[in-house]
Amino acid sequence: MKKIMVLHGINLNMFGRRDPAQYGSTTLKEIDEELEKLAAELGVSIECYQTNHEGEMVEKVHQIHEEEVDAVVINAGAWTHYSYGLMDAMAILKVPVIEVHMSQVHSREEFRHFSIFSNIAKGQISGFGVRSYLLGLRVAVDIIMENGKEHS
């Protein structure tokens, strides 16, 4: 079974309690539950991981090299805009990376318009709330299946 790693970065454990105008009222636990449901429908397995510590996230990304992971969906939170360390770790990955954001980062403060993952990610989905994650998972599965066909 194909496996997708879902990475949630800094402050995202506070979804549901943080700035509802931007992020709504859904908690991270509820997001992960919706992702699990969709993964079951799509016939893939997922692992969801959250940390507020950059070094821990980098080590989780390193672990992906040792594991059978077929794609990564990442919302790195504010790290998206400045973490060269996380970018370097992600750049080592050979599997497709999909970047997602709950809020529409391009309509917010200017520092949020830049993403360190723009050279690494296949694409970015931003502004659809929980649906950004669900769309990210769907497109990750599509890309895996497409790559599988090319290689068969």
Catalytic residues: 23, 101
Is residue 105 a contact residue for ligand DQA (CB under 6 A)? Answer: yes
Identify which of residues 60 and 112 has a Cβ nearer to ligand DQA in the complex: 112
Residue with tokens 């360190």: 116
**CA proximity to 70, closest of 124, 123, 140:** 140
Torsion of CA 102, 3, 57, 24, to 10 degrees: 20
**Per rule CB under 6 A, count of chain residues that contact ligand DQA:** 10
Calpha distance 91→89 (Å, rounded): 5
Is residue 101 a contact residue for ligand DQA (CB under 6 A)? Answer: yes
Q: Angle at which helices 28-42 and 130-151 pack, to 10 degrees?
A: 30
Is residue 97 a contact residue for ligand DQA (CB under 6 A)? Answer: no
Is residue 141 a contact residue for ligand DQA (CB under 6 A)? Answer: no
Contact between 90 and 117 (Cβ < 8 Å): yes
Identify which of residues 96 and 136 has a Cβ nearer to ligand DQA in the complex: 136
Phi and psi (nearest 5°) for 110? -60, -35
Site residues for ligand DQA, 55-84, by CB under 6 A, read 75, 77-78, 80
Is residue 136 a contact residue for ligand DQA (CB under 6 A)? Answer: no
Least distance to ligand DQA from the beta carbon of 43, Å? Answer: 27
Identify which of residues 2 and 101 has a Cβ nearer to ligand DQA in the complex: 101
Q: Tally the residues of the chain.
A: 152
Identify which of residues 9 and 144 has a Cβ nearer to ligand DQA in the complex: 9
Among 7, 61, 89, 103, binds ligand DQA (CB under 6 A): 103
Contact between 132 and 139 (Cβ < 8 Å): no
Q: Which residues bind ligand DQA (CB under 6 A)?
A: 11, 75, 77-78, 80, 101-103, 105, 112
